[in-house]
C-alpha cells in the first residue's frame, strides 16, 4: 500500500512538473538583451528623474524607444554614450545641465510684513500670507529643495540654497519641490543666472527686496545677445553661448546677475 502511494505521488509530481515546464515555455516573454545591458550601466539610483518607474522600467522603455538614450540624468554623459552604443545610436553630444536658483535674497535681505510661525516648510509657508515676506516671488528659505536632493548638491547658507554644479545631476526634484518655481535647469557651461524671479514693477521691487531685478534694462543694453527684459524681469537666452556677460554683471545696479563658480554662490 505504501509503495503504491509513493509510485502514485511520484507519477503525479512528474506530470505536474511537465505541465509547469510546458506552461513556462508557452507563456515565456522574450527579453530584449539590450534591457539587461542597459541595467548593467545605469547607476541604479531608482530616482525616477527620467520619468520612468525605476531603472528597470527605464531600461525597458529605452529599448522600446519611449525614452531617449540620454534620459538617465544621474548617469550623465558617460552613461548616455554607453546606452547609445547599445542602442546603435552613438555619435551624439550630451550637454550637462545643473540647477540654478533665481533668488539672491538671504535671511537678512528678506523684508517682512509679518512673522511666520507655522510648519518650517516652503510649501506650507507659501500658503500662509506668502510666509510673511514682502516679496511673493522669492525664496522662502526653509529648504524644501535641500530636503529632496539625493545627491548632496544643495546646501542652505543663511536661508538661501546654493548649488554645487559638480554634484548636481539635473534630476529636477528641487525644481518640482519649490512652490515658487525659483529653480530651473541651466547649461553647465553657461554659469550665469538672474537671481530674481519677481515680475513686480520697479517701484514695488525696490520696496520689497534690496537685490531684486528692477527692469532697468542695463543688461539688455550692454549684452543684448543674451539678455532681454520680459515682464519686468531680466531673462537669459542660454542658446547664445560664448558671449561675454561680464559687462551686464558689473553694471547691474542691484547685483542680481550672478556668475557661478564651483558653488552657485553670491
Tens of pLDDT, residues 13-47? 666 666 676 666 655 556 688 888 888 888 887 87
Tens of pLDDT, residues 157-189? 999 999 999 999 888 899 999 999 999 999 999
Dmax (CA) for the chain in angstroms is 102
Cell numbers 554614450: residue: 81
The pair phi, psi for residue 228, each rounded to 5°, is -140, 145
* CA-based radius of gyration for the chain: 27
Query: How many angstroms separate the CA atoms of 69 and 82, rounded?
Result: 9
Tens of pLDDT, residues 77-104? 788 888 888 888 776 677 788 999 999 9
Query: How many angstroms separate the CA atoms of 150 and 194, rounded?
Result: 25
Its pTM stands at 0.76
Query: How many angstroms separate the CA atoms of 141 and 223, rounded?
Result: 31
The confidence score (pLDDT) of residue 42 equals 86
Does the pLDDT value for residue 262 go beyond 60?
Answer: no
The confidence score (pLDDT) of residue 91 equals 66
Q: Please, what are the domains in the chain?
A: 33-87 (1.10.15.40), 97-259 (3.30.70.20)
Report residue 261 CA to chain centroid gap: 19
Report residue 88 CA to chain centroid gap: 27
Query: How many angstroms separate the CA atoms of 198 and 195, rounded?
Result: 10
Q: How does DSSP classify residue 133?
A: B
Tens of pLDDT, residues 215-249? 999 999 999 999 999 999 999 999 998 999 999 99
Three cell numbers written together for 223: 549684452
Hey, is 147 helix, strand or coil? helix
Hey, is 259 helix, strand or coil? strand
CB of 233 closer than 8 Å to CB of 81: no
Cell numbers 517682512: residue: 112
- SS3 sequence, 19-60? HHHHHHHHCCCCCCHHHHHHHCCCCCCCCCCCCCCCHHHHHH
Report residue 246 CA to chain centroid gap: 27
Query: How many angstroms separate the CA atoms of 91 and 93, rounded?
Result: 7
Amino acid at each position: 500500500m505504501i509503495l503504491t502511494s509513493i509510485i502514485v505521488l511520484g507519477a503525479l509530481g512528474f506530470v505536474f512538473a511537465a505541465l509547469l515546464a510546458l506552461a513556462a515555455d508557452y507563456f515565456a516573454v522574450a527579453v530584449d538583451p539590450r534591457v539587461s545591458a542597459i541595467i548593467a550601466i545605469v547607476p541604479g539610483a531608482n530616482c525616477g528623474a527620467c520619468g520612468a518607474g525605476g531603472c528597470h522600467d527605464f531600461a525597458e522603455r529605452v529599448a522600446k524607444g519611449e525614452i531617449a538614450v540620454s534620459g538617465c540624468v544621474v548617469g550623465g554623459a558617460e552613461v548616455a554614450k554607453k546606452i547609445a552604443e547599445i542602442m546603435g545610436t552613438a555619435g551624439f553630444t550630451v550637454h550637462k545641465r545643473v540647477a540654478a536658483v533665481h533668488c539672491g535674497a538671504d535671511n537678512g535681505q528678506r523684508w517682512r510684513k509679518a512673522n511666520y510661525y507655522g510648519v518650517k516648510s516652503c510649501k506650507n509657508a507659501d500658503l500662509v500670507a506668502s510666509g510673511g515676506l514682502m516679496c511673493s516671488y522669492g525664496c522662502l528659505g526653509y529648504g524644501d529643495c535641500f530636503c529632496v536632493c539625493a545627491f548632496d548638491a544643495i546646501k542652505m547658507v543663511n536661508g538661501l540654497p546654493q548649488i554645487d554644479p559638480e554634484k548636481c545631476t539635473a534630476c529636477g526634484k528641487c525644481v518640482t519641490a519649490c512652490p515658487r518655481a525659483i529653480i530651473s535647469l541651466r547649461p553647465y557651461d553657461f554659469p550665469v543666472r538672474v537671481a530674481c524671479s519677481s515680475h513686480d514693477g520697479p517701484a514695488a521691487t525696490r520696496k520689497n527686496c534690496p537685490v531684486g531685478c528692477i527692469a532697468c534694462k542695463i543688461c539688455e543694453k550692454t549684452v543684448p545677445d543674451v539678455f532681454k527684459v520680459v515682464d519686468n524681469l531680466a531673462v537669459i537666452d542660454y542658446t547664445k553661448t560664448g558671449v561675454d556677460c561680464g559687462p551686464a554683471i558689473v553694471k547691474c545696479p542691484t547685483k542680481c546677475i550672478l556668475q557661478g563658480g564651483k558653488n552657485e554662490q553670491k
